[in-house]
Amino acid sequence: MSSVGYANEQPETESYTYQAARLVCQVAADDKSKSERPLRIIDLCTGTGCISLLLHALLAPHFQNLSITGIDISPRALWLAQKNLRHNLQLGQLAPRATTDIHFHRADVLGKGDGSTPPIKSLLRSLVSNPSEHTQCDLLISNPPYISRAEFRNGTTARSVRLFEPELALVPSDSISEDFRSEDIFYHRIITLAYELETKIIVLECGDMAQAQRVVALHKRLVSKESKFSAGIWPTRERDLAEYGFHQTDGSRCVIIQRLS
């Protein structure tokens, strides 16, 4: 996908998005029940919309009914997401149906919202035309802010990132909790929301292996013992690491959580 403006998407993000698309196709192929509803994807903290646009390009050839909702709190990011959508349509990199399949909305993933920004749950309810309609989500994907305020300011974060990426897209608001670190707050909120939406596949980008391990542990604490989920870090296999250009120990990873049938 071609993009304009800033974005909190690293090269690894594209690999995670491809992996998410492969998992969606695999689950759909294994699902014997045929549903009339569209395949539902939610892209939280969408930024400039690159993940949403790439997912549409990958999945539209395989799914006749597709609904992708990108959500962010930043008006500037959402304006750029819409611009990126139009830009890629003009370049012919997206099917014309992307204009009706992809929608971007403003909402507060963490808080309860304010007069101008609705809370995430309120927005999701408003997007369901029939109040009795089930709000199940097939894929929830997110590249959320995951850098601590200390790391953002102490030189750990690359200078180019600090200068050209908005802090809002990188650093979560401060949070005091005995259950998780401040830089992990989005993962706690997103995983909880994903369970409420009965999400089949959750794909979460993390800053490094250590954070990915914390997110897997957080999932295990949040999920009930009766629920059936698998959670793992990708990539970890030597072949995948080499194929997608990941370092063995350093660099970002993603956590993939799947509901078992």
In a domain, 208, yes or no: yes
Report the alpha-carbon distance of residue 72 to residue 82 in Å, rounded. Answer: 12
Residue 205 phi/psi, 5-degree rounding, is -80, 140
Check residues 128 and 240 and name the one with the higher pLDDT.
240
How many CA within 13 A on the CB side of residue 252? 22
Q: State whether residue 223 is helix, strand or coil.
A: coil
DSSP assignment of 8-73 equals ---HHHHHHHHHHHHHHHHHHHH--S--SSPEEEEEET-TTSHHHHHHHHHHTTT-SSEEEEEEES
pLDDT bracket for residue 134 (50, 70, 90): low
Flag whether pLDDT at 7 surpasses 90.
no
In a domain, 3, yes or no: no
In a domain, 247, yes or no: yes
- Contact (CB, 8 A) for 96 and 57: no
How many CA within 13 A on the CB side of residue 138? 24
Please report the pLDDT score of residue 69 as a whole number: 97
Please report the pLDDT score of residue 157 as a whole number: 41
Flag whether pLDDT at 98 surpasses 90.
yes
Q: What is the domain extent for residue 208? A: 11-26+38-259
How many C-beta neighbours within 10 Å does residue 170 have?
A: 21
pLDDT bracket for residue 142 (50, 70, 90): very high
pLDDT tens-digit profile of 54-75? 999 999 999 999 999 999 999 9
Report the alpha-carbon distance of residue 198 to residue 147 in Å, rounded. Answer: 28
How many C-beta neighbours within 10 Å does residue 177 have?
A: 10
Please report the pLDDT score of residue 252 as a whole number: 84
- Domain containing residue 208: CATH number: 3.40.50.150
Report the alpha-carbon distance of residue 118 to residue 254 in Å, rounded. Answer: 28
Please report the pLDDT score of residue 64 as a whole number: 94
Flag whether pLDDT at 161 surpasses 60.
no
Flag whether pLDDT at 168 surpasses 50.
no
In a domain, 4, yes or no: no
- Contact (CB, 8 A) for 18 and 58: yes
In a domain, 32, yes or no: no
Nearest to 44 by CA among 15, 89, 77: 77
Nearest to 204 by CA among 42, 54, 57, 65: 42
Q: CB burial class (10 A; 0-12, 13-18, 19+) of residue 223?
A: middle
- Contact (CB, 8 A) for 48 and 2: no
Report the alpha-carbon distance of residue 17 to residue 64 in Å, rounded. Answer: 20
In a domain, 42, yes or no: yes
Question: In the chain, how many domains are there?
Answer: 1
Report the alpha-carbon distance of residue 187 to residue 13 in Å, rounded. Answer: 16
pLDDT tens-digit profile of 37-58? 789 999 999 999 999 999 999 9
pLDDT tens-digit profile of 111-121? 766 677 888 98
Report the alpha-carbon distance of residue 228 to residue 76 in Å, rounded. Answer: 39
Highest mean pLDDT among 95-99, 174-178, 206-210: 95-99
